[in-house]
Structure 1
């Protein structure tokens, strides 16, 4: 038995999120089915991030166990010949059987895209959130600075989350604008349910003048979801990368 790690990219538009569920097709379900057909085994992948319906990924991570003799790096080629065009494996490799993508320390990077102009662009409708309200990027950048470091992010946690603690650490938060496109890029040691989308929704309210940038501190200190802004739509969010320390791949 060996464990294989997959780096998975997908367009989340047509899927009910990552995790297998009874009410619609998911990315994990498609992966499981094609892996099972490929190996002749019943395969159930374990994913690192349970992205929501409509959320995209460039580098989600999953692992599976198999007895097939195929080298780990060959699974990417074999799977990509079978998978639908909106799911592609970027890398496959054998890892220690003890490696678990959710329980090993990691750093995740997300991007949230905002189309900020008078009218929407149809080709952007699945990959960015459109708003015609002029956003002040400098105010958004100032507000984002209050989120850096380790904090209790309870105000930015969606209802129904089951976690032991709402304390997380944001290592970097960059907000840039090119033409009509605003990109919020956030990197941290982990994120709560809907945390990035709530941060994006709050930053847009501040950028639109609903309250001053310094109010972000009060939102953090409130530790109350009602204090923060709305949850931004899923379509603007992409999981860019999950980075693990090299030591995570050393055999015990």
Structure 2
């Protein structure tokens, strides 16, 4: 029996999340179907974590067991020819039989993208939340820093969470403003927008914002609720320091709304050194 690990990316727009469920049409379902088409086996693909309906992944790690003798360097292309276009296998390894994609992950990073330009980006609309007014990026960054450390995140999870404990550890959290690319459309009217923004939105910025949150584990809707709260800080509806009191309250009603799913991406999953070493 071989244990195969994959790194996959997917556009989660049309899926009901990663993990299989009775309603079907999940990323796990499609991946397992592709493996069955390739090997004739029915396997269970274990993901490093769940992603909700509409949420994407740049780096989702998966492992599964197989009796197939297909050389490891053939798996990537062979699976990609059998997967839909919105799921891509980036790399495949043969790992030790002890490797477990979820249990052995030591940290994960999620990224939430907010477009606060006046006009939405047609080509990125599936991967970001469009907020047509500028935001106070500095205040948002100050706010998210209150969440770093080991805390009870009951205020930042869905009331439907079934986890026995809401204590989680955030290792790093930050808000970054993306540098405009060379192909960014920048017509003279932007000068008028800038003058209007300075008058009506002092201290706020336009652009593409990325909220990065790295932790050892996450709760249901946790990053999306954090982001929804940060947006209110950026709008000036809350102060950065209020985020600390929301966290301490452990009351979901005190936090902001749950941000829409399409802006969220599972960005990176980290493992201990040697986790992907081939079996002897």
TM-score, length-normalised on structure 2? Answer: 0.86
1:103 aligns with 2:129: no
Q: Which runs of 5+ in 1 are unaligned?
A: none
| Aligned equivalents of 2:270, 2:141: Cα separation in 1 | 25
Length, aligned pairs only: 252
Alpha-carbon displacement from aligned partner over 1:84-105 (angstroms, at most 9, x marks no partner): 1111111111112222222224
Q: Residue in 2 aligned with 1:228?
A: 255
Q: Which residue of 1 aligns with 2:41?
A: 41
**Runs ≥4 residues deviating over 4 A:** 249-252
Other-structure match for 2:63 = 63
1:204 aligns with 2:234: no
Q: Which residue of 2 aligns with 1:13?
A: 13
| Corresponding position of 2:79 | 79
Q: Is the 8 A contact 1:73 1:94 kept in 2?
A: no
Alignment of 1:212-251 (within 5 A): 212-249=239-276
Instruction: State the secondary structure of the residue aligned to 1:123.
Output: coil
> How far does residue 22 in structure 1 lie from its aligned partner after superposition?
2.7
Partner of residue 163, structure 1: 163
Larger mean CA deviation between 59-68 and 158-167 belongs to: 158-167
- Aligned-partner SS, 1:53: coil
Give the Å deviation of 1:197: 0.6
RMSD: 1.6
For 1:209 and 1:217, the matched residues in 2 are separated by 16
**Separation in 1, partners of 2:115, 2:167:** 31
Per the alignment, residue 181 of structure 1 pairs with 208
Q: TM-score, normalised by structure 1?
A: 0.95
The whole-number CA distance in structure 2 between the counterparts of 1:112 and 1:51 is 13
Question: Is the partner of 1:13 in helix, strand or coil?
Answer: coil
Larger gyration radius, structure 1 or structure 2: 2
**What is the alpha-carbon distance in structure 2 between the residues aligned to residue 247 and residue 87 of structure 1?**
27
How far the C-alpha of 1:247 sits from its partner, in A, is: 4.7
Deviates more, 1:59-68 or 1:239-248: 239-248
Q: Which residue of 1 aligns with 2:152?
A: 152
Q: Summarize the Cα distance change of 1:157–1:90 in structure 2 as closer, same or farther, 3 Å threshold.
A: same
Give unmatched runs, 5+ long, in structure 2.
181-206
| Distance change >3 Å, CA 80–CA 15, structure 1 → 2 | same
Q: Residue 205 of structure 1: SS of its match in structure 2?
A: helix
> Does residue 194 of the first structure (1) align with residue 221 of the second (2)?
yes
Shift in Å, 1:244: 0.5
